[in-house]
């Protein structure tokens, strides 16, 4: 791979009106031409598609808007054990990702055993409730046959798995499943859950969407079925030694074409022969084909000429993206040994959920804490900005656990919704959206092909990104 700095090439003024001028007549002293394929985005899907295409002998270049590679894979290299700000667990059925890890001579560490290492405390109504008091506590709104259970995602997912009407989770986008595309709220009400039970188990530390009303239960049928398959293949949760970013770094290092950083795409225009991609700084790239891996949210800001087909355009503008903020804490003293409670907490405060990070070699020692703040709570923190939000989260933790005072400090903060190149963590589905949009997200638009996690049909996350890259690269190879 060659990193290119083309800032030395003289700038061409660019205005969106230029998008309507003919591609062939556009003259630019700052242009990069004669490519077979230009890949936009140097996340996992973009780099993998670029690798496949260049190995087939095509002249491929990658442009990336950010000043770093990796997109939603971002290992925090400044923290012990390189915890992940983004894509974290590589699961049992991740055949493509595991093959890539092997191809690049990287090694995997299984951190599945961390799951069982600390019990979670319940903080509800803003106060910590002793676990032995939970079953009879006045704030326990669990279904009456499940009073002993702890609230939250694990319990909810168990219920979804038990009640899924899909024979195979892969049927989720078939027309026969359309009738199931209602809201999580309707599904839970049909099971007889009260509003309080739904609020406690779904809307607190929400797993998907902003509320039980705006999230599709069909997307959960897919999710829990897919998760089960991963466990059945092999019940592991790997991460790459040195951080998942190591895979990105290795892929970029071995890529034979050029990679350009800081090239924020602003417009894509095409005629019947070529595509021109225009960046914010005025540079333009001309190629026969474009592979676009930009996530849906930032894709909204790209001007297409001619304009995108209606279904694809509607999907880009209407599909929401999950909001998650991660706050990383260093621990000076193990305050939980002082107050006798577990460091891990499921809370209904602005802290979201607190878990232990166990990032050292043996996977067991606590190397820090992480707060995962989701959905509307993440949106609330985003209105405060990083520094006030960090302070607020720290103070909330110290209020719930006074023993933590002066024993913790914030060492990392990431809002995915505020990251302009991601606009959130992954695509979400509101009731009724799956059948309207899911199959269109990967639709090719003349010479522009789309990949990325949001276009995957059978997988999620990093494996979904890799699946989409293979599908997209094959599509390009067939059409070139």
Ligand X SMILES: Cc1cc2nc3c(=O)[nH]c(=O)nc-3n(C[C@H](O)[C@H](O)[C@H](O)COP(=O)(O)OP(=O)(O)OC[C@H]3O[C@@H](n4cnc5c(N)ncnc54)[C@H](O)[C@@H]3O)c2cc1C
* Centroid of chain to Cα 320: 12
| Angle subtended at Cα 299 by Cα 293 and Cα 303, rounded to the nearest 5 degrees | 115
Residue 250 engages ligand X in binding (rule: CB under 6 A): no
Q: Tell me if 240 sits within 8 A of 104, measured CB to CB.
A: no
Residue 93 engages ligand X in binding (rule: CB under 6 A): no
Cβ at position 76, least distance to ligand X in Å: 12
Which of 64, 276, 348, 350 touches ligand X (CB under 6 A)?
Answer: 64
CA distance 394 to 369: 11
Total site size for ligand X, rule CB under 6 A = 37
CA distance 66 to 70: 9
Nearer to ligand X, 84 or 181 (CB): 84
Stretch that binds ligand X, among 15-23, 69-77, 363-371, 380-388 (CB under 6 A): 69-77
Stretch that binds ligand X, among 4-12, 31-39, 81-89, 173-181 (CB under 6 A): 81-89
- Binders of ligand X among residues 318 to 347 (CB under 6 A) are 324
CA distance 282 to 244: 33
Cβ at position 346, least distance to ligand X in Å: 18
Residue 426 engages ligand X in binding (rule: CB under 6 A): yes
Cβ at position 416, least distance to ligand X in Å: 5
> Of 43, 48, 77, 83, which is closest to residue 63 (Cα–Cα)?
43
Which of 425, 427, 430, 438 touches ligand X (CB under 6 A)?
Answer: 425
Residue 68 makes CB contacts below 8 A (sequence gap 6+) with 74, 261
Nearer to ligand X, 90 or 217 (CB): 90
Which of 26, 161, 199, 264 touches ligand X (CB under 6 A)?
Answer: 264
Q: Which residues does residue 292 pair with via DSSP β-bridges, in sequence order?
A: 40, 450
Residue 294 engages ligand X in binding (rule: CB under 6 A): yes
Residue 217 engages ligand X in binding (rule: CB under 6 A): no
Q: Tell me if 379 sits within 8 A of 417, measured CB to CB.
A: yes
CA distance 79 to 273: 48
Residue 453 engages ligand X in binding (rule: CB under 6 A): yes
Residue 383 makes CB contacts below 8 A (sequence gap 6+) with none
Roughly how many angstroms between the first and final C-alpha of the chain, as a whole number? 23
Residue ranges binding ligand X (CB under 6 A):
40-46, 63-66, 71-73, 86-89, 264-265, 293-295, 298, 324, 416, 421-422, 425-426, 452-453, 461-465
């Amino acid at each position: 791979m060659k990193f290119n700095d083309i800032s030395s090439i003289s700038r061409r003024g660019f205005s969106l009106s230029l998008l309507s001028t003919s591609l062939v007549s556009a003259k630019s002293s700052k242009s990069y031409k004669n490519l077979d394929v230009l890949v936009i985005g140097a996340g996992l899907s973009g780099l993998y598609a670029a690798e496949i295409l260049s190995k087939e002998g095509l002249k491929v270049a990658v442009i990336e808007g950010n000043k770093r590679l990796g997109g939603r894979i971002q290992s925090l290299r400044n923290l012990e054990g390189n915890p992940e700000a983004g894509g974290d667990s590589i699961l049992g059925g991740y055949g493509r990702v595991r093959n890539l890890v092997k191809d690049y001579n990287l090694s995997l560490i299984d951190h599945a055993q961390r799951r069982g290492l600390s019990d979670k405390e319940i903080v509800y109504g803003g106060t910590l409730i002793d676990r032995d008091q939970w079953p009879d506590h006045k704030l326990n709104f669990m279904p009456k046959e499940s009073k002993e259970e702890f609230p939250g995602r694990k319990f909810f997912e168990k219920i979804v798995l038990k009640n899924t009407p899909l024979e195979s989770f892969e049927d989720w986008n078939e027309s026969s499943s359309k009738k199931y595309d209602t809201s999580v709220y309707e599904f839970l009400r049909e099971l007889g859950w009260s509003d309080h039970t739904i609020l406690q188990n779904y809307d607190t530390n929400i797993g998907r969407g902003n509320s039980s009303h705006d999230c599709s239960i069909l997307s959960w049928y897919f999710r829990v079925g897919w998760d089960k398959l991963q466990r059945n293949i092999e019940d592991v949760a790997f991460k790459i030694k040195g951080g998942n970013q190591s895979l990105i770094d290795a892929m970029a290092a071995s890529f034979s074409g050029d990679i350009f950083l800081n090239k924020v795409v602003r417009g894509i225009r095409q005629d019947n022969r070529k595509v021109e991609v225009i960046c914010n700084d005025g540079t333009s790239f001309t190629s026969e084909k474009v592979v676009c891996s930009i996530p849906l949210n930032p894709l909204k800001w790209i001007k297409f000429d001619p304009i995108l087909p209606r279904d694809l355009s509607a999907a880009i503008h209407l599909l929401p993206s999950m909001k998650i903020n991660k706050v990383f804490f260093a621990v000076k003293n193990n305050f939980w040994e002082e107050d006798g409670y577990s460091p891990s907490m499921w809370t209904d405060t602005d802290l979201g959920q607190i878990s232990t990070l166990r990032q050292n070699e043996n996977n067991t020692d606590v190397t820090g804490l992480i707060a995962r703040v989701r959905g509307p709570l993440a949106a609330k923190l985003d209105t405060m900005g990083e520094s006030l939000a960090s302070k607020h989260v720290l103070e909330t933790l110290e209020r719930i656990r006074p023993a933590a005072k002066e024993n913790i400090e914030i060492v990392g903060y990431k809002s995915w919704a505020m990251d302009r190149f991601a606009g959130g963590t992954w695509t979400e589905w509101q009731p009724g959206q799956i059948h309207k949009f899911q199959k269109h997200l990967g639709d090719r638009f003349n010479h522009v092909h789309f990949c990325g996690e949001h276009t995957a049909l059978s997988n999620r996350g990093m494996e979904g990104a890799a699946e989409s890259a293979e599908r997209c690269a094959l599509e390009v190879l067939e059409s070139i």
